[in-house]
Amino acid sequence: MNKFGTLINIAITALAPVIWGSTYIVTTQTLPAGMPLLASVIRALLAGIILLLICRVRPYGIWWLKMAVLGFLNIGLFFYCLFAAAYFLPGGLASLVMSCQPIIVMVIGALVFQQKLSMMHLVSAFVGVTGISLLVLNSAVQLNFQGITVGLIGTTSMALGILLTKHWGRPTNMSLLAFTGWQLTLGGIMLLPAALLLEQLPSHLTLTNILGYGWLSLAGGVFGYFVWFRGIEILPPVTTSFLGFMSSLSACVLGYLILGQTFTHLQLVGCLAIVTAIYLARPPRAEPKPTLLSQRKTLRQ
């Protein structure tokens, strides 16, 4: 893949976390309060069922188990933790906790999948987390350790899901749309019993609620996860995880545009640091393959 193609694929994959950055504001401003499980189930099942109705392909053999594991890590557990963190913490602080994902991907990748740790990636992670800290933290933020714990569980779940998705690939008979649909559907099904047991269904839904659920399911679920899993297939896992920083940047920009929040000079520095971290974490340029002529010159030397 040439340099231009790599940048295009990074830009396409980055659309997913940019859209997911709206989760915090959509959850708090449009959805019924105190129902993270219900929000997770609706988002996952609605998106998953739509994709399965389009594709109509089933897993086979051991892939049923693999798909269930991926659905739990990438969708079920992660969705719940994402929505719960959005309720327990301010949106910026929740995104800061989630920004630890590249570090977790690097650590698990090195310990479990024997991937090499890159000093540039470690520097990028430090720059990115520092940038998000400058972007979202202020004196008014109140720490909630329950929210922080839930957020760390969620980001670890997604990190492991990224690595296993890259490691396992997908079934030979299954398109990327179907692969996305099955994970969303199975993850939603896993959450459904807990949602019905622990949360009461809202007595009525307003148009605002319906639009909020629709945005999370169609934009965040169908489109977001399709381009995300596409990116996991094409890009290195660490590079993909660094794109998650865009979620924090997106959340803060939406807060500025919709809620009238302002940017300080330190927050602008944080924005620049986030973009710098993503740039530093891009895949290394592939070495050109030696041609027959260059091989002959090497042999003569």
pLDDT in tens, 130-141: 887 777 666 455
Mean of pLDDT over the chain: 82
- Closest to 232 (Cα-Cα) out of 187, 277, 183: 183
- Closest to 26 (Cα-Cα) out of 282, 208, 200: 208
Q: What is the pLDDT of residues 146-183, one digit of tens each?
A: 778 888 898 899 999 999 999 999 999 899 999 999 99
106 close to 238: Cβ distance less than 8 angstroms: yes
Token pair of 268 as six digits: 């602008």
Block mean pLDDT (10 aa), the chain, length 301? 80 91 83 83 92 92 95 90 74 68 83 79 82 68 73 89 92 92 94 86 88 92 92 88 82 79 77 82 61 51 50
Token pair of 26 as six digits: 């959509």
Burial class of residue 233 in the structure, from the number of CB atoms within 10 Å of its CB (0-12 exposed, 13-18 middle, 19+ buried): middle
What single-letter amino acid sits at 63? W
CA 10 to chain centre: 13
13 close to 236: Cβ distance less than 8 angstroms: no
- The predicted pLDDT at position 97 comes to 75
Token pair of 121 as six digits: 């990636």
Token pair of 81 as six digits: 């933790």
- The predicted pLDDT at position 250 comes to 84
Token pair of 276 as six digits: 């710098």
Q: Cα(168)–Cα(242) distance, rounded to whole angstroms?
A: 21
CA atoms 258, 262, 268, 269: torsion sign? negative
- Closest to 6 (Cα-Cα) out of 276, 271, 243, 246: 243
Angstrom CA distances, 35 to 72, 138, 152, 204, 290, stand at: 19, 27, 20, 14, 58
- The predicted pLDDT at position 105 comes to 86
What single-letter amino acid sits at 257? L
Q: What is the DSSP string of 175-226?
A: -HHHHHHHHHHHHHHHHHHHHHHHSPPPS---HHHHHHHHIIIIIIIIIHHH
Local structure of residue 31 (DSSP, 8 states): S
> pTM for this one?
0.81
